């Protein structure tokens, strides 16, 4: 039986409640309306034509910062990419595409090993 992935709204609500921040208080910190936060937490933010949520990347990153969550995880739940990735991919499109396609399907452990090797290689080339 497959485990259902938590949604962006569920993730935000759980983290906000765990930090004992009221919905209105969180809206104030985020500089949005309480209605927006309520809609977000109920997963009522509409999708765009590409399937991502119509919420700005900057807003998601601010939510992550306020709730001590990983911004990359929240962006993924919203169907978005971290803002720095397109530039990284555009610098070496063929190589980055090959790397991502090759790494696709690897376990977390396998990806962690590749990441560590890349960090070591980067240190050597400095």
Just give the CATH number of 8-77: 1.10.260.40
The pLDDT value recorded for residue 31 is: 95
Q: What confidence tens digit (pLDDT) does each residue in 39-89 have?
A: 999 999 987 888 777 899 999 999 999 999 999 999 999 999 999 999 999
Query: Whole-number mean pLDDT of the chain?
Result: 92
**% of the chain exceeding 90 in pLDDT:** 82
Distance between CA atoms of 47 and 50, rounded to whole angstroms? 8
- Residue 79 and residue 49 in contact, taking contact as beta carbons nearer than 8 Å: no
Task: Report yes or no on whether pTM surpasses 0.75.
Answer: yes
What residue segments make up the domains of the chain, in order of their start? 8-77, 85-124
d(CA 51, CA 93): 23
Percentage of the chain lying above the pLDDT 70 cut: 96
pLDDT band with cut points at 50, 70 and 90 for residue 23: very high
């Amino acid at each position: 039986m497959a485990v259902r992935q938590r949604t962006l709204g569920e993730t935000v609500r759980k983290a906000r409640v765990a930090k004992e921040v009221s919905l209105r208080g969180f809206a104030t910190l985020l500089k949005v309306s309480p209605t927006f936060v309520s809609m977000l937490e109920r997963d009522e933010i509409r999708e765009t034509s590409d399937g991502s949520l119509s919420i700005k990347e900057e807003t998601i990153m601010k939510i992550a910062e306020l709730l001590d969550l990983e911004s990359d995880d929240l962006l993924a739940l919203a169907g978005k990419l971290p803002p720095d990735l397109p530039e990284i991919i555009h610098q070496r499109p063929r190589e980055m595409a090959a790397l991502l396609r090759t790494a696709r399907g690897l376990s977390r452990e396998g990806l962690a090993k590749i990441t560590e090797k890349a960090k070591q290689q980067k240190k050597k080339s400095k």
